[in-house]
Amino acid sequence: MKHKELTCIGCPLGCRLDVLLDDTGAVTMVTGNTCPNGEKYARKEVTSPTRIVTSSVRVYGSKMGERMVPLKTAADIPKSKVMDVIRDLAGVSVPCPVEIGDVILHDVAGTGVDVIATKHVE
Amino acid sequence: MEKTEYNLIIIGGGPAGLAAAVSAYDAGERSILVLERDLRLGGILNQCIHNGFGLHTFQEELTGPEYAQRFIDRLTERGIAYKSDTMVVSVGTSEDGYKEVAAVNETDGLLLLKCKALILAMGCRERSRGALNIPGFRPAGIFSAGTAQRLVNIEGYLPGRRVVILGSGDIGLIMARRMTLEGAKVLVCAELMPYSGGLKRNIVQCLDDFGIPLKLSHTVVRIEGKERVEAVVIAEVGADRKPIPGTEERYECDTLLLSVGLLPENELSIGLGVEMSTVTNGPVVNESLETSVPGVFAAGNVLHVHDLVDYVSEEAALAGKSAAAYIREYDQGSISEEMARIPVTVSGGIRYSVPVSVAPGRISDWLKVRFRVGDVMRNKKVVLYLDGVKELSKRRHVMAPGEMEEVVLTRKVLDKHPDLKSIEIKVEEG
């Protein structure tokens, strides 16, 4: 039996959630939530938390004199891989022009998810 | 000779200005000019590269630049004129009721423009160290969170390696994560108030995810270092928000980020002589988002600071529509005499409302009255009274100063009160 404490992000109430896990890591009980969304969030956050990662990398050859292009993972990736994604992006630079949605890096950090540009840079 | 007369000029090409322009066009107005002081449209969204924008407007989570591009595309599809890299230096009114706008840029030099209606959409800026009275030298390494955001995301510089953040507004929280991802060590985030003004989601995903402590009821009491920040001392504060002696903690660091609030940027509005609210630091507006100067409208963070860009877009769309209607009336010579307007009064811990007065005849279907409370409140009801009659009551589990609230005034409810004299919004015990 294990306890995990979380803050619910569903609304400004920010309930303190107490999650009870059995020895296999399965959720047996969620307390502290004041609505069903809290329980849903707790179950996901404890068993398979995910995040969208956003960052930026250098561009070269911009007519507008821009230095950076912002980007994001095209889908959520496991939370444990966030720093791996960032490490994969270190040192990456891309030629202009870049369009929103252009793939900057395929299958980042072995997640199967692409990193895509989020801004037009001429 | 370049055109110098427009029906509508919009000052600011950020989210508010873009949405206002598109909405005015869609309401039939074709003579529109947007003036933007940055090199590109989109305003502050360009440096907000994190996601979470647009859930209300587009039912999907976009990053700031993506959200901006959706509106820039709408602007260019409609062929609406804009000038970027153009700074408005003053606005005024002439005797014939026209508004006069003086602006400068590198190619045109000084531009003197005239318009029938004007929309103020200049946004806001961050409170700076000067507004905080923190003693100490003036070393390098003290940045507002937004400045650091621009340096990292647009300019490609990391402004420091060991960071203390004062204030837990959303930009500060976002920058705690951003600096961490770029290789800096964020030591602590100190917040003067006993609660954070930032979204719960940002506290969890920007601080908790990276093990960055949030110290509530704490503030910076000393900044050490003469050339560059060398350390920051924070201390706990009491209920009077004064530091408690003996609680000081010293953090060796090279950077202090300030995320201590936003101020609407209204120098131009004040120069024009519009009546200002001392609570929001923005113009006082009616149901059409029209200021005390007829034909001058305001929307977005210049009016009152918003937490979600979706609400800015929605509000600005109303300003655009109202401006288009004003121009039609102006052209027909039917600008109504001073309309009877009913004041909106707020109480029970509500700090302000936007708008502050309503002409019921101007509301076609509904009007959203937005407001903020002054403190964290639990288990309350928001109640709307028209002439003392309770017309709407909604339960709120929790309300916080950082989350904008709204009440919808519908045509149907207004029709029940043909001789309406008072509109009141109250927070009552739930």
Kindly write down the DSSP assignment for every residue of B116-128, as one continuous string: EEEEE---EEE--
Instruction: State whether the Cα torsion B47-B52-B56-B60 is positive or negative.
Output: positive
The reply to whether A52 touches chain B by the CB within 8 Å rule is yes
Write down the pLDDT at residue B337. Answer: 63
CA atoms of A110 and A88, how far apart (whole Å): 10
Cα separation, B18 vs B319, in Å, equals: 11
- Which of B361, B367, B320, B356 is CA-nearest to residue B339? B361
Q: What is the pLDDT of residues B225-234, one digit of tens each?
A: 999 999 999 9
Alpha-carbon gap: B362 to the closest alpha carbon of chain A (Å): 34
Buried b (16+ CB within 10 A) or exposed e, B226-256: eeebebbbbbbbeeeeebeeeeeeebebbbb
Task: Tell whether B273 is within 8 A of chain A (Cβ).
Answer: no
The CA distance from A112 to the nearest CA of chain B, in Å, is: 20
Residues of B with Cβ-Cβ distance to A64 under 8 angstroms? 39-40
**What is the DSSP annotation of B10-62?**
EE--SHHHHHHHHHHHHTT---EEEE-SSSSTTGGGGG--SEEE-HHHHSS-E
Question: Cβ of B73 under 8 Å from any chain A Cβ?
Answer: no
For residue B49, the chain A residue with the least C-alpha distance is A70
Residue B46 in contact with partner chain A when CB distance is under 8 A:
yes
| pLDDT value, residue B348 | 95
pLDDT given at position B338: 65
Angle between helices B15-26 and B64-77 (to 10 degrees): 30
Q: Is the pLDDT of residue B121 over 80?
A: yes
Q: Which chain B residue lies closest to A90 (C-alpha atoms)?
A: B182
Beta-carbon separation of B154 and A67 below 8 A? yes
pLDDT of A73 higher than 70:
yes
Structure tokens at B289: 């988002």
Phi, psi of A41 (to 5 degrees): -60, -45
Task: For A116, list phi and psi in degrees, rounded to 5.
Answer: -120, 155
What is the per-residue pLDDT for B1? 53
B205 contacts A56? CB cut-off 8 A:
no
- Containing B93, the helix (H) or strand (E) segment is strand B87-93
CA distance B189 to chain A (A): 17
Angle between helices A82-89 and B170-181 (to 10 degrees): 60
Under an 8 A CB cutoff, do B156 and A82 touch? no
Mean pLDDT of chain B: 94
Cβ within 8 Å, pair A13-B152: no
Q: Do A9 and B201 touch (CB under 8 A)?
A: yes
Q: What is the pTM of this model?
A: 0.93
Q: What is the number of alpha carbons within 13 Å of residue B413 lying toward its C-beta? A: 16
Residue A4's pLDDT band (cuts 50, 70, 90):
confident
Examine the pLDDT at B409 and tell me if it is beyond 60.
Answer: yes
- Judge whether B395 is closer than 8 Å to chain A, CB to CB: no
- The rounded distance, in Å, linking the Cα atoms of B214 and B375 is 19
Give the separation between CA B189 and CA B251, rounded to whole angstroms. Answer: 11
Q: Choose the mutation target among B395, B398, B404 for the interface with A, i.e. most A CBs under 10 Å.
A: B398
Interface touch A68/B65, C-beta < 8 Å: no
For B81, phi then psi, to 5°, come to -75, 145
